[in-house]
Amino acid sequence: MSTTYEPTQKTQVRRRPDRGNYDRAVVHKIIDKALVAHVAFVENGEPRVLPTTIVRIDEDVYIHGSPNNNLLSAIAAGAPACIEMTLVDSIVAGRSGFGCSMDYRSVVIYGRAEQVTEPAEKERIIDALVQDIIPGHIVRRPKRKELAATLVLRFPLIEVSAKIRDAGNIDVEEDYDLDLWAGVIPLGVAAGPGKGCPRLKPGIETPGYALNYKR
Ligand X SMILES: Cc1cc2nc3c(=O)[nH]c(=O)nc-3n(C[C@H](O)[C@H](O)[C@H](O)COP(=O)(O)OP(=O)(O)OC[C@H]3O[C@@H](n4cnc5c(N)ncnc54)[C@H](O)[C@@H]3O)c2cc1C
Q: Which residues bind ligand X (CB under 6 A)?
A: 10-15, 86, 88, 102, 104, 106-108, 161-163
Report the C-alpha gap between 178 and 174 in whole angstroms.
Answer: 8
Main-chain dihedrals φ then ψ at residue 104, nearest 5 degrees: -150, 165
Distances (CA, A) of 116 to 13, 51, 62, 145: 31, 20, 9, 15
Least distance to ligand X, CB of residue 24, Å: 14
Smaller CB separation from ligand X, 11 or 150: 11
Smaller CB separation from ligand X, 52 or 69: 52
Distances (CA, A) of 122 to 31, 73, 118, 173, 185: 20, 17, 6, 55, 40
Least distance to ligand X, CB of residue 139, Å: 33
Smaller CB separation from ligand X, 54 or 126: 54
Report the C-alpha gap between 80 and 105 in whole angstroms.
Answer: 24
Smaller CB separation from ligand X, 102 or 128: 102
The answer to whether 155 and 61 are in contact (CB under 8 A) is yes
Q: Write out the H or E segment, with its range, that includes residue 127.
A: helix 119-133
Least distance to ligand X, CB of residue 184, Å: 14
Smaller CB separation from ligand X, 167 or 210: 167
Least distance to ligand X, CB of residue 166, Å: 12
Least distance to ligand X, CB of residue 124, Å: 28
